[in-house]
Amino acid sequence: MLILAVTVQGLSYREVARIHGVSKSLVHKLHQRWLSEGETAFTPRSTAPRSRPARTPEPVRDRILQLRAQLTADGLDAGADTICSLLAAEQVTISRSTIWRILRAEGTITPQPQKRPRASWQRFCAEQPNELWQSDTTHWRLTDGQEVEIIGWIDDHARFVTHLSCHARISGRTVTDTFQQAAAVHGFPAATLTDNGNIFTTRFAGGILARTGGNAFETLLALHGITQKNGRPYKPTTQGKIERFWQTLKKRLAVRPASSLEELQRELDEFVEHYNQHRPHRSLNRRTPAFAYTLIPKAAPTQPDDPNIWRVRYDTIDAHGKVSLRFGNRMMHLGYGRGLARTAVIVLIHGLYAVTITPEGEVIAEHLIDPNKGYQAKK
């Protein structure tokens, strides 16, 4: 319109500027462009700046994509938070939102608006290390098709993995053994949180197990004054931290397949080292679990006041069908019969009463101890 006013109507630059409320210099600029470019001068020009000094430098963008590909190939978390932490270690300062936009622009991630916003989550977290340990088991398949099981113990406060191991089959004995192995290194926790599986609790079991006060794990906890907590049936979100840990672990194992239990255990040990010592955690303000686990003093269980608490003894019935143990100042022999020779058992003793179960929790004998006799026949 401004150009037409000059070229067709013959108006001066000053007159066109006054009529249309613009500067004379703008009218002059547009007219000179028309004289040199012809009809293309009427085409709208881009308003984008010639340079963008605030744009993320190309080497940084390339490094972001490189880290994304590398972490994904290794089966590790490759989100914007993790990449941001790794770049910070390389003295590169960049926001997680910028990283997310770069990854999205390159098509390496897909937005998921259907997910619940984090603001709607209800969190709970122990205030001290060893205040609460979560535990659970999960299944995994080796490359030869063999089904195995993995058990883990994780600190609720720091997400620090205190134990992780694989087994052909997990039994009650596995639970008590792995728990004590972890406690020998890190100290006993004040409480535990698990699901309601029979390897953890007999709260839903009837018969003698209910009367004896629980299985070997429950008895072990009572012996050390450790509070046992169990999630609601069919509500795995109660043990959300260990459940989320399985997701991270299996993502790693999927790209590092193992052909044997020994090889799988090596992978687990390597993963625990990375998870505890190197992997920054969102809920820990991008600190590592090892940092959070050692930052403040640990909680400890309160020793029980009852001196007559259940004792736990692991043994194997000998070739003569008996188990020998010291009761008071005398050596006692609990009889089972030669038919049970070489059977691995757990003996639970309370006062003069003893009940013997298999590592799977099956009751095989009860004894009422007579202190005046050396051999104790089963009831």
Is a pLDDT exceeding 90 seen at residue 2? no
Show the tokens assigned to 161.
């993995």
Percent of the chain residues past pLDDT 70, beyond the cut: 85
Secondary structure class of 36 (helix, strand, coil): helix
What is the structure's pLDDT at 260? 94
Q: Does residue 96 contact residue 102 with C-beta atoms inside 8 Å?
A: no
Question: pLDDT of 357-373, one tens digit each?
Answer: 887 778 899 998 888 88
Could you tell me which residue, 14 or 144, shows the higher pLDDT? 144
Task: With a cut of 60, say whether residue 206 has pLDDT above it.
Answer: no
Please give the average per-residue pLDDT across 180-199, as a whole number: 92
For the entire predicted model, the pTM comes to 0.60
305 is a domain residue: no
Question: Do 214 and 267 fall within a single domain?
Answer: yes
Q: How would residue 305 be classed by pLDDT, with cut points 50, 70 and 90?
A: low
Residue 121 in any domain: the answer is: no
137 plus 266 within the same structural domain? yes
**CA 174, CA 296: separation in Å to the nearest integer?**
30
Residues 225, 201 within the same domain? yes
Same domain? For 101 and 245 the reply is: no
Please check whether residue 169 is in contact with residue 359, taking contact to mean a CB–CB distance below 8 angstroms.
no
Radius of gyration, CA atoms only, the chain: 35
pLDDT score of 335:
93
Q: Indicate the SS3 state at residue 190.
A: coil
Q: Which residue has the tokens 């134990």?
A: 163
Residue 208 has pLDDT above 60, yes or no: no
- Residue 300 domain-assigned (yes or no): no
Residue 315 shares a structural domain with residue 185: no
Residue 271 pLDDT greater than 90, yes or no: yes
The first and second tokens of residue 146, run together, are 């063999």
User: Where does the pLDDT of residue 213 fall: very low under 50, low under 70, confident under 90, or very high at 90 and above?
Assistant: low
Q: Which residues is 227 bridged to in the sheet?
A: 191
**Given its phi and psi angles, is residue 145 left (phi above 0), alpha (psi -120 to 50 degrees) or beta?**
left
Q: Do 25 and 65 fall within a single domain?
A: no
Total domains in the chain come to 4
**Residue 37: CB atoms within 10 Å:** 11
Percent of the residues in the chain that have a pLDDT greater than 90, as a whole number: 29
From the list 138, 123, 129, the residue with the least C-alpha distance to 238 is: 123
Let me know if residue 337 belongs to a domain.
Answer: yes
Q: Are 367 and 376 in contact (CB under 8 A)?
A: yes
pLDDT grade for 14, boundaries at 50, 70 and 90 = confident
Instruction: Place 136 in a pLDDT band, splitting at 50, 70 and 90.
Output: very high
Of the two residues 333 and 93, the one the predictor is more confident about is 333
Q: What pLDDT is stored for residue 225 in this prediction? A: 85
When pLDDT is cut at 50, 70 and 90, the band that residue 352 belongs to is confident
Whether 289 maps to a domain, the answer reads yes
**What residue type is assigned to position 227 of the chain?**
T
Q: 278: burial class by Cβ within 10 Å (0-12, 13-18, 19+)? A: middle
Mean pLDDT computed over every residue of the chain: 83
Query: What's the pLDDT at 230?
Result: 87
Contact present, 158 and 129 (Cβ < 8 Å): yes
Residue 93 and residue 99 in contact, taking contact as beta carbons nearer than 8 Å: no
What distance in Å separates the CA atoms of residue 201 and residue 306, rounded to the nearest whole number? 21
Q: Is residue 192 predicted with pLDDT exceeding 90?
A: yes
Q: Categorize the per-residue pLDDT at 187 as very low, low, confident or very high, splitting at 50, 70 and 90.
A: very high
pLDDT at 201: 86
Residues 83 and 179 in one domain: no
Judgement on whether residues 199 and 290 belong to the same structural domain of the protein: yes
For 281-289, what is the mean pLDDT? 75
Distance of alpha carbon 357 from alpha carbon 366, whole angstroms: 9
Joined tokens for residue 302: 């309160």
Give the CATH number of the domain where residue 317 resides: 2.30.30
Taking only the tens place, the pLDDT of each residue in 307-335 is 556 677 788 999 999 998 877 667 889 99
Q: What are 62-91's pLDDT values in tens digits?
A: 888 888 888 888 877 777 878 887 888 888
Residue type, 365: A
Q: Any residues with CB less than 8 A from the CB of 80 and at least 6 apart, and which?
A: 96, 97, 99, 100, 103
pLDDT tens per residue, range 149-177: 999 999 999 999 999 999 999 998 899 99
Task: Give the domain range for residue 347.
Answer: 311-376
- Same structural domain, 271 and 152: yes
Closest among 25, 149, 191, 310 to 2, alpha carbons compared: 25
CB 321 within 8 A of CB 338: yes
Tell me: do 247 and 364 sit in the same domain: no
Look at residue 130 in the predicted model and tell me its pLDDT: 95
The helix/strand/coil state of 106 is coil
285 and 347 belong to one structural domain: no
